[in-house]
Amino acid sequence: MLEIKNLMVFFENALALNDLSINVKQGEIVSALGSNSAGKTTLMNTISGLIIDMKIKEERRGGERITLMGEIWYEGEEILFMKPSHRIRKGIALSRERHPIFPDSDVEENLRISTYLRKDSEIKKSFEFVYSIFPPLRGLKQRKAGFCSGGEQQMLSIGMALMTHPKLLLLDEPLLGLSPAMQNSLIEAIKKIREEGITIFITEQFARPLLPIVDRGYIIENGMLTLTGTGQELRENPEVRATFMGI
């Protein structure tokens, strides 16, 4: 479904991603694990196309030069320089790091904002789907998003991505800053999303709750791929256990 070949991303002369190759098959849950500044968010921004908007804005204001090299193939089509809006239409949706939402709008308004590319006849089904994945959001429909807890905002952020009816859901550090109980709830929700036929690619730095549900994983250090394996292989790797699982 998704194949990344020899991807390189430069910010001026700084190399953020270095010759990175990753593939995600339809129906899988695949993770990319790495510490802070490993390149995880840059990877997600590049797959989703946000890096293209960043590149255009920097060029217009004469700022930092962003250079992309390599290939990204999605369902047989090369998309490295495709606009993010076109990627959304093709079924790629990103839930960004630290759950950015519209704090002055209520939960339902936040979800509805994400349906601007959808037909009216499809929107009701999308609301019901999101509420089935995240039941607490149903009772928070009229609450201002800024007054929701961190865990509720994370559910809302993922719900907003789901409202676009994605085929490939990108989750950038969804467990960051959440309590262990909320992390477990989110892991269960991710499993439900996969059961609905949605392929999932996740970046994280804390792997203990995540690795039991992933099919395959990649370890990224300083923008480079250093290790790959099944979820079980990575769980049993002593270095991975020490670095990413706190064991």
Dihedral (Cα; 93, 96, 100, 102), 10-degree rounding: -10
Domain boundaries, given as residue ranges, for the chain: 2-91+168-244, 99-165
pLDDT at 117 over 80: no
Q: Residue 76 corresponds to which tokens in the numbers above?
A: 């047989």
Mean pLDDT across the stretch 4-29? 95
DSSP 8-class letter at 118:
S
pLDDT at 247 over 70: no
Distance in angstroms (rounded) separating the CA atoms of residues 168 and 196: 12
With left for phi above 0 and alpha for psi between -120 and 50, is residue 213 left, alpha or beta?
A: alpha
Q: Residue 100 corresponds to which tokens in the numbers above?
A: 């950015």
User: pLDDT category, 45, cuts 50, 70, 90?
Assistant: very high
Higher pLDDT, 206 or 158: 158
Helix count (H) and strand count (E) of the chain? 10, 10
Least confident of 79-83, 120-124, 218-222: 120-124
Largest pairwise CA distance in the chain: 51
For residue 242, which phi and psi values (nearest 5 degrees)? -75, -40
pLDDT at 194 over 70: yes
pLDDT at 116 over 80: no
Q: Which CATH superfamily, name and number, covers 2-91+168-244?
A: P-loop containing nucleotide triphosphate hydrolases (3.40.50.300)
Distance in angstroms (rounded) separating the CA atoms of residues 99 and 157: 5
Distance in angstroms (rounded) separating the CA atoms of residues 189 and 193: 6
pLDDT at 246 over 70: no
Which are the contacts of 207, defined by CB distance < 8 A and separation ≥ 6?
31, 33, 217, 234, 235, 240, 244, 245
User: pLDDT category, 155, cuts 50, 70, 90?
Assistant: very high
Least confident of 107-111, 132-136, 235-239: 235-239
Spatial CA neighbour of 220 closest among 47, 23, 34, 46: 34
Helix (H) or strand (E) holding 53: helix 50-60
Mean pLDDT (the chain) is 92
* 32-42 pLDDT per residue, tens: 999 888 999 99
Distance in angstroms (rounded) separating the CA atoms of residues 17 and 220: 9
Spatial CA neighbour of 205 closest among 172, 237, 238: 172
pLDDT at 113 over 80: yes
* 143-154 pLDDT per residue, tens: 999 999 989 999
pLDDT at 184 over 90: yes
pLDDT at 56 over 80: yes
pLDDT at 203 over 80: yes
User: pLDDT category, 206, cuts 50, 70, 90?
Assistant: confident
pLDDT at 242 over 90: no
